[in-house]
Amino acid sequence: MNIRLKPGKDKPVRNGHPWIFSGAVAKVEGYVDPCDRLCTVYSVDGERLGVGYYNDKSTIRVRMLSVDTVVNTAVNKNVNTNRSALPPLTFTVKDLHSRIRQSIDTRKRNGVLTANAVDYTDSCRLVNSEGDFLPGLIVDKYGSGVCMQIGTAGMECWRGAIVEALSDIVNPTFIYERSDTASREREGLPSSEGLIAGTLPETLAITENGVKYKADLRAGQKTGFFFDQRENRALLRRYAAGRNVCDCFSYSGGFTINAALGGAATVVAVDSSEEAGACLSENARLNDVSDIAKFQKSDAFAFLRQLPPGCDGSSIDLLILDPPKFANHPSEVDRAARGYKEINLAGLRALAPGGILFTFSCSGAVDPYLFRQIIFGAAADARRAVQILHVLTAGPDHPINIAHREGEYLKGLVLRVQSF
C-alpha cells in the first residue's frame, strides 16, 4: 500500500516526526490489509519518504516506523536518485525484535536499572512508544515480569511478535497486558486486558531508588505505576529534611513516601480517592514511615483554599502539585490552563515564605512554555516572588523523539517562593 502526501506535507516526515494526519494525505493507493497495515509514504513528487502503518479510522492516518535515509540523503545533497533502483523498504518482525532489544539495552546502559543497595531499582519503562521509535507500544518492567500496552491498530497486528520478543529478550516470569487506553477506541480497537503468559503474583511489590511500592497491574493508573516521576521523586527527597510537606493529588504516595524517607517533619497526602489512600498507607507501611506519612481524603483545590495564607501562619513549606491530566486534546487547553492556574494560585498562597513548590503538568497538549506562563500568572496574582530552581521532565526511561514535541507530555518546575 502506498500513501501520497499533499504538497508541503513532507517536511515533518523528512525531519523524523512520526505522525501523518489525515489532512496531509492526498491519496491512498492499494489494498488496506487490516492484518498488516504497513505502507510506503511518498511525497507529492513521488519521492519515497519512509515506511509506517496506516489506519483510516484514526485522525493520525500514518505512524512512521522509519525514514528512507537513501532518498533523504540524496535530497539533502541535491543529488538525483534513480528511484527504480532503490532497495525495497519495509519493516519486518526482525526489525521489531531489534528495536525492542535496542530499547531495553539502552535502559541497561544508562543506569536506570541498578543493583546498588542504596538506589536499587528493579522496575522501569522498557519501551516508550514514539520515544523509542515504536509508536503505539509501551512496555513496563515490574520486578521480574513485564506489562505491555498496545495503543494502535498497527502494533496490534504484531501482538504475537511482541510477546515473542519480550519472552526472548527479557525472559519474564509473567507478561500482563493493559491495553485499555482511550487511544484504542480512537483506533477502532476494543480494550484488551489480562495475563498473557506466566504467573502474576497475588501481591506485586517493586523497588525504585531503594523505595518499595505496591503495584496494581489490574486496576492501577497507566500500566499500574507512574514510572515517569522516578527522578523527580528522588530530587524531592533532597529537599524534604525538616520540612512540613503537603502532597496534593498524592495517588499511591510516590512523593509522600520519598518526603518521609528524606526526613520530613510531617507529611500530609491529599487525594479524593479512598482506594489511593489505602494504597498509600500500604506503601508507607512497606517503607516504615507510617508514623510520618498521613493520608487525608479531600479535594485538593478545596483543601488548599481552606489553609491560612502562607504569610499569615501556614506551616506548609514544601508542596507538591501533581494533578491528573487536565487536557486530553488541544481543544481543551484553555480549560486546562484555567485549572492549572487555579491550583497553583491556591498553592502559592498557602506556602510559607521560603517554601518549595514542586508543580507538574502531564497534559501533552499544554507545552512547557505555556505551563511556565501559567505559573508566572499565578505567582503574579498571588503576589509571591518566585525563583525557578529546577526544570523537570520524565526520566531517561521515557526518552523523547526530538522531532516529536507531543511526546514531551510531563513537565515540571521546582520553585522557591517568597513574598513581594
Kindly tell me if the per-residue pLDDT of 1 is higher than 70: yes
CB 196 within 8 Å of CB 242: no
Residue entry with cell 514535541? 405
Average pLDDT for residues 315-332, to the nearest whole number? 92
pLDDT tens digits for range 197-240 = 999 998 899 999 999 999 989 888 888 899 999 999 999 999 99
For residue 78, the model assigns a pLDDT of 46
CB 214 within 8 Å of CB 203: yes
Kindly tell me if the per-residue pLDDT of 373 is higher than 80: yes
Kindly tell me if the per-residue pLDDT of 77 is higher than 50: no
Whole-model pTM?
A: 0.91
Kindly tell me if the per-residue pLDDT of 312 is higher than 70: no
pLDDT band at 343; cut points 50, 70, 90:
very high
Kindly tell me if the per-residue pLDDT of 338 is higher than 80: yes
Q: State the chain's mean pLDDT as an integer.
A: 91
**Do 344 and 230 belong together in one domain?**
yes
Kindly tell me if the per-residue pLDDT of 73 is higher than 60: no
Average pLDDT for residues 301-330, to the nearest whole number? 87
pLDDT band at 88; cut points 50, 70, 90:
low
Out of 91, 108, 130, a domain closes at 91
Nearest-angstrom CA–CA distance, 403 and 202? 41
The region that residue 134 occupies, defined by phi over 0 for left and psi between -120 and 50 for alpha, beta otherwise, is beta
pLDDT tens digits for range 4-22 = 999 999 999 999 999 999 9
Catalytic status, residue 362: yes
Kindly tell me if the per-residue pLDDT of 313 is higher than 80: no
Nearest-angstrom CA–CA distance, 417 and 420? 10
Kindly tell me if the per-residue pLDDT of 336 is higher than 90: yes
DSSP letter, residue 330: G
**Do 150 and 237 belong together in one domain?**
no
For residue 223, the model assigns a pLDDT of 87
**Do 18 and 137 belong together in one domain?**
no
pLDDT tens digits for range 170-191 = 999 999 999 998 889 999 999 9
Q: Is residue 221 a part of any domain in this protein?
A: no
CB 144 within 8 Å of CB 235: no
**Do 141 and 180 belong together in one domain?**
yes
pLDDT tens digits for range 410-419 = 999 999 998 7
Average pLDDT for residues 150-158, to the nearest whole number? 96
The region that residue 224 occupies, defined by phi over 0 for left and psi between -120 and 50 for alpha, beta otherwise, is left
For residue 76, the model assigns a pLDDT of 46
Nearest-angstrom CA–CA distance, 394 and 231? 8
Quote the distance between the C-alpha of residue 144 and its chain's center: 22
Q: Is residue 149 a part of any domain in this protein?
A: yes
Quote the distance between the C-alpha of residue 366 and its chain's center: 14
Q: What range does the domain containing 301 cover?
A: 226-419
**Do 381 and 287 belong together in one domain?**
yes
For residue 75, the model assigns a pLDDT of 46
**Do 161 and 184 belong together in one domain?**
yes
**Do 259 and 397 belong together in one domain?**
yes
For residue 87, the model assigns a pLDDT of 61
pLDDT band at 111; cut points 50, 70, 90:
confident
pLDDT band at 86; cut points 50, 70, 90:
low
Kindly tell me if the per-residue pLDDT of 401 is higher than 90: yes
**Do 80 and 105 belong together in one domain?**
no
Q: 2-6, 310-314, 366-370: which range is least confident on average? A: 310-314
pLDDT band at 420; cut points 50, 70, 90:
low
For residue 71, the model assigns a pLDDT of 46
Considering 124, 147, 248, 362, which one is annotated as catalytic?
362
Sheet with 25-29, side-by-side order of all strands: 19-21, 60-67, 48-54, 38-42, 2-5, 25-29
Number of separate domains in the chain: 3
Beta strands (DSSP E) in 249-373 are: 266-271, 293-297, 318-321, 355-361
Q: Is residue 210 a part of any domain in this protein?
A: no
Residues 6+ apart with CB under 8 A from 271: 248, 249, 250, 251, 277, 280, 295, 297, 298, 300
**Do 85 and 122 belong together in one domain?**
no
Average pLDDT for residues 289-294, to the nearest whole number? 94
Kindly tell me if the per-residue pLDDT of 83 is higher than 80: no
Q: Is residue 356 a part of any domain in this protein?
A: yes
Grid coordinates representing 127? 519501551
For residue 315, the model assigns a pLDDT of 84
Kindly tell me if the per-residue pLDDT of 365 is higher than 70: yes
Nearest-angstrom CA–CA distance, 344 and 37? 45
Average pLDDT for residues 119-141, to the nearest whole number? 95
Kindly tell me if the per-residue pLDDT of 398 is higher than 60: yes
Out of 36, 64, 91, a domain closes at 91
Residues 6+ apart with CB under 8 A from 322: 229, 247, 248, 249, 251, 255, 358, 359, 360, 362
Kindly tell me if the per-residue pLDDT of 112 is higher than 90: no
Expressed in angstroms, the distance from the first to the final Cα of the chain is 63
Out of 45, 62, 91, a domain closes at 91
Nearest-angstrom CA–CA distance, 98 and 104? 10
